[in-house]
Amino acid sequence: MKKHYTLLLTLVFSLITIIAQDHSEELNFFHEKYPNENLVIISHVEEIDISKSKNGLQITIKFNEEKLYLQDNANLFSEEKISGSSFHKLSEIKASSLIFNGKNYKEQKINNFNEKDKLDNAIFHDDVKEISFYYPNLNKGSKSNLSYTTSITDPRFLTSFFFQEYYPINEVTYKMTVDKDINIGFKEFNTDNFKIEHTVEEKKNKKIYTWKSTHVPKTESESNAPSFFHSIPHITPYIESYSENGQTIPILGSTKKLYDWYYSLTKDFYEKNDTIPEIKSLIDSLIADINSDEEKLKVIYYWVQENIKYVAFESGLGGFIPRSASSVYNKRFGDCKDNSSILKEMLEYAGLNTYLTWVGTRRLPYSYSQISTPVVDNHMINTCIIDSNFYYLDATGKYATIDMIASFIQDKEVLIGIDVDSFIVKKLPITNAERNYFNDTVALELNNLDLVGNGKYTVNGYPKIKIFNHLETLKDDNIKKFYTINLTKGNNKFIINSFVETNKFDYDKPFELSYDFSVASYATLTDNHLYINLNLHKDFIPKTIKKDRTHAIEQDYCYKKSYYYKLKIPEQYEVEYIPENVHVNTKDFSFNLTYKVEGEYIIYESSFKEESLLIEKNQFLKWNKFIQQVQSASKEVVVLKHK
Amino acid sequence: MKKLFATLLVLSTLNIAHAQLTPFYKSYNWSENIDKMNILKDTLIDEEVLVLKDYASNEFSYPDDKQNTLTQYVLTHKAYLLRTNNAIEDFNKVYLSFDNSSEILKTKARVITPSNKIIELDSTKILTAVDEETNVQYKYFAFEGIEVGSIVEYLYVIKKRPYYEGSYVRIQSEYPIFNLDFHVITPNNLIFKFKTYNNTDSISNDTLANGKWDFNIKYDYIPSLKYENNAAYQSKLMALVYKLDRNTYGGTRDISSYSTLIQNMYDFLHYNEDKNKKTVEKFLKQMKFKASKTTEEDILFIEDYLKKNIYINENNGSQELKSIDFITSNKLASELGILKLYAQIFAALEIEMELVFSGNRLSKKFDSEYEATTFLEDYLIYFPSINKYMAPTNLASRVGLPTFTLTHNYGLFIKEVALGGFKTGLGEIKFIDPVPYTENTDKMYIDVSFNEENITNQKIFFNRQMSGYYAKDLQPFYYLITGKDKTELNKQLFTNINSELEPENIVVKNENAADLGKKPFIIEAEFETDVFIEKAADKVIFEIGNLIGPQTEIYDSLERKLPVELNYTKYYYREIKVKIPKNYKIVNLDDLNIENYFINNGDTSMAFTSKYTVKDNELVVVCEEYYKNIEIPVKHYQEYRKIINSAADFNKIKLILEPN
């Protein structure tokens, strides 16, 4: 029985092979395995060699990747780009297309490589060079092959090994060959439930570490998901030390070692500097009549935010070394390190203890205890300590108050540089939802079927900062359009007739907008009944989370929205029906809605609070149930009857 | 005094010969006296940015007195008053681009603070970037020392190979401009021709001390033109165009006419056509071409294959990307390369075609009476036997549905003519008609029923059909999307009506790229939902208007200045059938009647209507909305607004269902 079965299979298989002549077996195999993917990475190999040389350590990475294109849209992937910089130098670039001709793959080598200096919006000037080229003749079943070598010029800049991409990977291999007397450390991230084969070999005076994974599914690209560092399995290597001439040269491996290196790059700021007279007279005039330290801090912090623009020059070590305060003052621009540099000098001149502070934004999931290499952080701010109160100051943006940290560093660790020997690592809090609020209080009336009213909208915290940043870019009629879109009540027939702005662009006070508006034909009248849906502001209702979502959902900040509407019941009408109240309160979110009739008014009060920065996958079901309740409540209509 | 006079005398005798050697830019500099700019500081106080100086001169010069090395020096000098932080963010970085046959001779930049301190930028701060692929170089810098209320000023000179076959210069912008000064300086053997647009004054002509001509236009003040939606804004800015017409040394005339270009283009398209015939035939075999019943089908087959299989690199001008051999064996081409391939394929198949040059009408109108290369920015191919156009480098189009910005505009048509046994190209300027509104349609057929057991729950069957430009981003690309992305795209066509809809049983028809412009893209789905229901005690409110999705509402804010210019003509059709649930009646059906027409010269050029009928407990609502013309003059703006807002009114209709 078995024999016949095998024979049948062979027959069937050879029949399939005969029919499928146009495509290689490889394509058939992978197309069946990944029918909905555009391409599969057949193999991704990086071989890193770390050895001692005359000038310290020599680190070279040989990169090779082969891709197989599975669909008719293969030629869309013709263009390939690779980047290098002064710390990561590219060489020996080879690329080719492999076209299947019915029997085997024929190679078409690429000879034309174009180099480009990248001009970027975010970074004004750096030393990143991009090399681009085109794979010719790509179609379904073709492959592409790319290989190049990168030399890393500073041992601290070892890059991580990533075991997953936005395309499925058939096989990914990292091989690290290290001279025996170089001490290497590794840290794994997101590798629970992920299979990596790991071997360590010793050959002569080298140690060879290999990691390999096969059949790796792709990671999904989803909106509002935390950065891929949070989910993609990866290993971060670092060089702890190496011995040379009997001496041990330390590189990385502890927060102290990282800090020592950071300090060496910035030590100028820990030594006495001559503050230029212009800065002195500026500070003198800013703090002239101020006695309290907090007030001094405020006025200087606000000045730097307002007057130093963000323009980033990040060439080579310019990406790590702050420029002098006088230079930043004269140019009136700088990046995060420059902003920190000038703020520190100004605050210290005013007698306030201020320290350069490194931090990784929320894009990076690491803490300093987990990994202490330059991968852990990507931003610099200041810490000012007044009477053992810590104030974290980021002068790169605007409208930040001294008590509120930037939203993109909430819940992250900071490395505060105190002096040559000491530093402090502290964990930043998550700003409370009550601090970030939107409040809309409105008096409503019905003018026939038109809903008219006047309201006061108040906003504070992070949402206020966001609104101010946007308002700065608007002029004339676009300001009214912006308010109209954001305050829309009911439907898009909502028109603002006039408005008054209070505390516009004020750092400390909440922003207030008084406005009067109308919504034409909002109410429906039929058969002596008036129907009005008082859930005028639908923007607070979150969207249902899709069932097949794979990543958590990240919020910029926790916030609260509350609405208070007082509708005057038109004469000759009485209330026939008001909807039920709704109360849902959990630790992550809450929603409260009440209707009350008070004399000739109907009072509608609703509030929505979101209190967590992250909605994990295991919360999706609970969250969707909650959204259902909110949506259902928003569909309830008030009914008035003619007396 | 005597010394000065003697110097002047020497200078004037050297006259023309010497003057050719000293281009104007050498003696040009910004003023050390900033008073002229400072007096403007308090004008137009509501404006964020004032352009205090806008100086540009294009000088054509023979630097070494030999008549064959004409050079162009472009001198640009600008100054801006920046009154807000936002203005500073917009103007604190400058990028100057030039190709590798050009040279930047001079760059100066400075900041004048509100207290009149002048901070000049050190030349080491002017950085360079190179792009090897496009051969473009950049010099870029960030101004240092800007505070709110500062003036930023810069000037630079580029020396380049002369370009004189037609340059279009806009002299108006969204910011008010003071001290506008535009010059074309030429040796007096070169005669340039000018034309101005949008109420710009005509050009003056002065003679300089060195005998050169200075064609110029000056304005003390040009008011800003504010951007308006649905207008061809860029094309409405005050502008001028200039070109070299004659050289009196040698007597050449019509230098910038299209005739040379027409000839060159024709020769390029058909270069080595006979030698390439074998390669072309082999390529046709490779793409499995078989002649079909109609010419249009043949054209479509070729177009579909080339657009799907040849990667067009628009920025690369290399030779190989223009070679038929290279293109067919590597499937990579440049823009010109793909045109050549089309031309030689159609020649091999004996399909008559005309290459058409035109440009984006929203940015600049093709002037049918002034020949200049500035109007020749993009390509179409016209097929006289079927009277249709194809856009060869636009992936979001197929023959019969060309790039809409090039339609409703004039173009230069190059056809092949035979003179004796000799073939050549002949040019003609004709109008490219836009695609009529009956071909750009968005239709919805919606069936709604209520769940008798749970009246707030509805079952909806939704069929949507999009044709013409409405499908241009769907049909040509649909085949590229697979798996999860395809499901997402399909869903989005419904979730843009309401984000909470969960479409099921999605069926798609006519999704092939070749269907574009021929058959409508059809997508249908079912859903069970309560998003269109509101509750009011025992009554049910059905938000029937929301079924058609959100509609634009035009507010009556500032008075409209520019005429409306639509991207394309359009037609919308909505048919909604509602099974009225047993035990309920709809009490406000008349709210469904809306009728708004605009009749222009006896023809209804735009309208919105909705009507209902009820039969056997089924409510049928039919809506039609259309815009037949691309341009709507300012005087009819309120009528246009009324029609647009009618659709918005329909969107707000709520039907009240009361129990019987």
| Tens of pLDDT, residues B433-445 | 999 999 999 999 9
Tokens of B222: 């040009």
Q: DSSP readout, A371-401? A: --SGGG--EEEEEEEETTEEEEE-TTSSS--
Same domain membership, residue A445 and residue A418: no
**pLDDT score of A273:** 62
Same domain membership, residue B405 and residue B375: yes
Which pLDDT tens digit goes with each residue over A167-187?
Answer: 999 999 999 999 998 999 999
Same domain membership, residue B293 and residue B230: no
Residue A150 in any domain: the answer is yes
Q: What's the rounded Cα separation, in Å, for the pair A384 and A346?
A: 12
Query: DSSP code of A545?
Result: P
Which pLDDT tens digit goes with each residue over B248-270?
Answer: 988 889 999 999 999 999 999 99
Interface of B with A in 586-605 (CB under 8 A): 587-588, 591
Single residue among B399, B432, B465 that ends a domain in this structure: B432
Q: Which of A38, A332, A548 sits opposite B144 (nearest CB)?
A: A332
Query: Which residue on chain A is closest to B84 by alpha carbon?
Result: A472
User: A413 vs A261, A368, A552, CA distance in Å?
Assistant: 18, 7, 21
CB contact under 8 A, B555 and A484: yes
Which pLDDT tens digit goes with each residue over A573-625?
Answer: 999 999 999 999 988 899 999 999 999 999 999 999 999 999 999 999 999 99
Main-chain phi, psi angles of B442, to 5 degrees: -130, 110
Q: How many CA atoms lie within 13 A of B654 on its CB side?
A: 26
Q: For residue A369, give how far its alpha carbon lies from the nearest alpha carbon of chain B (Å).
A: 38
Chain CA centroid to CA B36, Å: 37
**pLDDT score of B361:** 98
Same domain membership, residue A480 and residue A608: yes
Which pLDDT tens digit goes with each residue over B80-139?
Answer: 999 999 999 999 999 998 888 899 999 999 999 999 999 999 999 999 998 888 888 899
Single residue among A194, A228, A249 that ends a domain in this structure: A249
Strand order in the sheet with B458-466: B504-509, B521-529, B458-466, B441-450, B570-579, B618-627, B603-615, B594-600
User: B462 near B494, Cβ under 8 Å?
Assistant: yes
CA torsion through residues B529, B532, B533, B534, sign: positive
Q: Which of A125, A132, A398 sits opposite B127 (nearest CB)?
A: A125
**pLDDT score of A538:** 75
- All residues of chain B having their beta carbon less than 8 Å from the beta carbon of residue A124 are 93, 140, 142
Query: Which residue on chain A is closest to B590 by alpha carbon?
Result: A526
Q: How many CA atoms lie within 13 A of B75 on its CB side?
A: 17
Same domain membership, residue A270 and residue A125: no
CB contact under 8 A, B129 and A306: no
Q: For residue A77, give how far its alpha carbon lies from the nearest alpha carbon of chain B (Å).
A: 9
Q: For residue A193, give how far its alpha carbon lies from the nearest alpha carbon of chain B (Å).
A: 24
CB contact under 8 A, A75 and B331: yes
Q: Which of A71, A311, A492 sits opposite B93 (nearest CB)?
A: A311
Percent of chain A with pLDDT over 90: 78
CB contact under 8 A, B332 and A136: yes
Q: Please determine, for residue A563, whether its predicted confidence score (pLDDT) is greater than 50.
A: yes
Same domain membership, residue B356 and residue B490: no
Domain tally, chain A: 3
ipTM of the predicted structure?
0.84
Q: Which of A72, A132, A481 sits opposite B479 (nearest CB)?
A: A72
CB contact under 8 A, B656 and A529: yes
CB contact under 8 A, B652 and A493: yes
Q: Please determine, for residue B14, whether its predicted confidence score (pLDDT) is greater than 50.
A: no
Q: Are strands B177-186 and B49-61 parallel, antiparallel or unpaired?
A: parallel
User: B427 near B406, Cβ under 8 Å?
Assistant: no
Same domain membership, residue A241 and residue A264: no
Model confidence at A1, pLDDT cuts 50, 70, 90, reads very low
Interface of B with A in 417-446 (CB under 8 A): none
- Residue B135 DSSP SS3: coil
CB contact under 8 A, A543 and B500: yes
Same domain membership, residue B422 and residue B441: no
Single residue among B220, B247, B274 that ends a domain in this structure: B247
Same domain membership, residue B423 and residue B568: no
- The residue assigned the tokens 């480098």 is B393
Residue A147 in any domain: the answer is yes
Tokens of A298: 């405020």
Same domain membership, residue B588 and residue B565: yes
CB contact under 8 A, A543 and B140: no
Query: Which residue on chain B is closest to A627 by alpha carbon?
Result: B500
Same domain membership, residue B283 and residue B199: no
With an 8 Å Cβ cutoff, is B311 touching chain A? yes
Same domain membership, residue B502 and residue B410: no
CB contact under 8 A, B648 and A493: yes
Query: Which residue on chain B is closest to A526 by alpha carbon?
Result: B588
The average pLDDT across A466-487 equals: 92
Q: DSSP readout, A86-129? A: SSEEEEEEEEEEEEE-SSSEEEEE----EEEEPP-SS-SEE--E
- Containing H/E element for A337? helix A336-349
Which pLDDT tens digit goes with each residue over A205-244?
Answer: 999 999 999 999 999 999 999 999 999 999 999 999 998 8
Interface of B with A in 546-575 (CB under 8 A): 550-551, 553, 555, 557-558
**pLDDT score of B19:** 43
Residue B413 in any domain: the answer is yes
Determine the straight-line distance between the first and last CA of chain B, rounded to whole angstroms. Answer: 109
Tokens of B431: 């109008």
With an 8 Å Cβ cutoff, is B489 touching chain A? no
Residue A559 in any domain: the answer is yes
Same domain membership, residue B482 and residue B396: no
Same domain membership, residue A198 and residue A242: yes
Q: For residue A302, give how far its alpha carbon lies from the nearest alpha carbon of chain B (Å).
A: 14
User: B25 vs A323, A636, B159, B442, B486, CA distance in Å?
Assistant: 37, 73, 10, 57, 58
Residue B204 in any domain: the answer is yes
Percent of chain B with pLDDT over 70: 96
Q: Are strands A197-203 and A79-84 parallel, antiparallel or unpaired?
A: unpaired
User: B239 near B196, Cβ under 8 Å?
Assistant: yes
Q: For residue A264, give how far its alpha carbon lies from the nearest alpha carbon of chain B (Å).
A: 27
Q: What's the rounded Cα separation, in Å, for the pair A623 and A616?
A: 10
- The residue assigned the tokens 């703020």 is A343
Same domain membership, residue A302 and residue A354: yes
- What CATH number does the domain containing A619 carry? 2.60.120.1130
Residue B253 in any domain: the answer is no
The average pLDDT across B17-21 equals: 46
Same domain membership, residue A75 and residue A219: yes
Q: Which of A115, A495, A639 sits opposite B132 (nearest CB)?
A: A115
- What CATH number does the domain containing A324 carry? 3.10.620.30
Q: Which of A71, A124, A493 sits opposite B553 (nearest CB)?
A: A493
**pLDDT score of A269:** 62
Q: Please determine, for residue A272, whether its predicted confidence score (pLDDT) is greater than 70.
A: no
Main-chain phi, psi angles of B195, to 5 degrees: -150, 145
Which pLDDT tens digit goes with each residue over B490-526?
Answer: 999 999 899 889 999 999 999 999 999 999 999 999 9
Residue A23 in any domain: the answer is no
Same domain membership, residue A440 and residue A466: yes
- What CATH number does the domain containing B273 carry? 3.10.620
Same domain membership, residue B383 and residue B335: yes
Percent of chain B with pLDDT over 90: 80
Here the contacts of A195-204 (C-beta below 8 Å, separation 24 or greater) are: A196/A163, A196/A233, A196/A235
CB contact under 8 A, B311 and A533: no
- All residues of chain B having their beta carbon less than 8 Å from the beta carbon of residue A639 are 536-537, 539
Q: For residue A134, give how far its alpha carbon lies from the nearest alpha carbon of chain B (Å).
A: 8
Query: Which residue on chain B is closest to A505 by alpha carbon?
Result: B85
Residue A534 in any domain: the answer is yes
CB contact under 8 A, A71 and B308: no
Q: Please determine, for residue A337, whether its predicted confidence score (pLDDT) is greater than 60.
A: yes
Q: Which residue has the higher pLDDT, A341 or A10?
A: A341
Same domain membership, residue B490 and residue B390: no
CB contact under 8 A, A132 and B656: no
CB contact under 8 A, A117 and B480: no
User: A343 near A366, Cβ under 8 Å?
Assistant: no
* Beta carbon pairs, A and B, within 8 Å: 168
Single residue among B405, B432, B459 that ends a domain in this structure: B432
What mean pLDDT, rounded, does chain A reach?
91
Q: What's the rounded Cα separation, in Å, for the pair A576 and A596?
A: 13
Interface of B with A in 72-111 (CB under 8 A): 84-86, 88-89, 92-93, 95
- All residues of chain A having their beta carbon less than 8 Å from the beta carbon of residue B650 are none
- Give CA angle at B643 (B642, B644), nearest 5°: 95
Q: Where are the beta strands (DSSP E) in B266-351?
A: 311-312, 332-333
Which pLDDT tens digit goes with each residue over A31-51?
Answer: 999 998 999 999 999 999 999
CB contact under 8 A, A330 and B309: no
- Residue A77 DSSP SS3: helix
CB contact under 8 A, B541 and A38: no
Same domain membership, residue A296 and residue A189: no
Single residue among A380, A401, A427 that ends a domain in this structure: A427
Boundaries of domain holding A112: 34-249
- What CATH number does the domain containing B102 carry? 2.60.40.3140
Same domain membership, residue B469 and residue B412: no
Same domain membership, residue A244 and residue A113: yes
- What CATH number does the domain containing A94 carry? 2.60.40.3140
Which pLDDT tens digit goes with each residue over A448-468?
Answer: 999 999 999 999 999 999 999
User: A102 near A29, Cβ under 8 Å?
Assistant: no
Q: How many CA atoms lie within 13 A of A562 on its CB side?
A: 16
Residue B86 in any domain: the answer is yes
With an 8 Å Cβ cutoff, is B483 touching chain A? yes
The average pLDDT across B487-491 equals: 92
- All residues of chain A having their beta carbon less than 8 Å from the beta carbon of residue B130 are 115-117
Residue B6 in any domain: the answer is no
Which pLDDT tens digit goes with each residue over B552-608?
Answer: 888 766 689 999 999 999 999 999 999 999 999 999 999 999 999 999 889 999 999
User: A371 vs A175, A362, A376, B626, CA distance in Å?
Assistant: 21, 15, 6, 63
User: A313 vs A119, A338, B89, B141, CA distance in Å?
Assistant: 12, 10, 16, 11
Q: For A173-182, B35-44, B402-411, which range has the lowest pLDDT when averaged over its residues?
A: B35-44
Which pLDDT tens digit goes with each residue over B344-388?
Answer: 999 999 999 999 999 999 999 999 999 999 999 999 999 999 999
Q: Are strands A114-117 and A129-134 parallel, antiparallel or unpaired?
A: antiparallel
**pLDDT score of B511:** 96
A contact test, residue of B50, B127, B482, B657 with most A CBs within 10 A: B482
Same domain membership, residue A550 and residue A415: no
**pLDDT score of B484:** 81
Q: Which of B145, B499, B557 sits opposite A477 (nearest CB)?
A: B557
Q: Please determine, for residue A547, whether its predicted confidence score (pLDDT) is greater than 90.
A: no
Boundaries of domain holding B428: 258-432
Q: Please determine, for residue A7, whether its predicted confidence score (pLDDT) is greater than 90.
A: no
Same domain membership, residue A167 and residue A96: yes
- What CATH number does the domain containing B518 carry? 2.60.120.1130
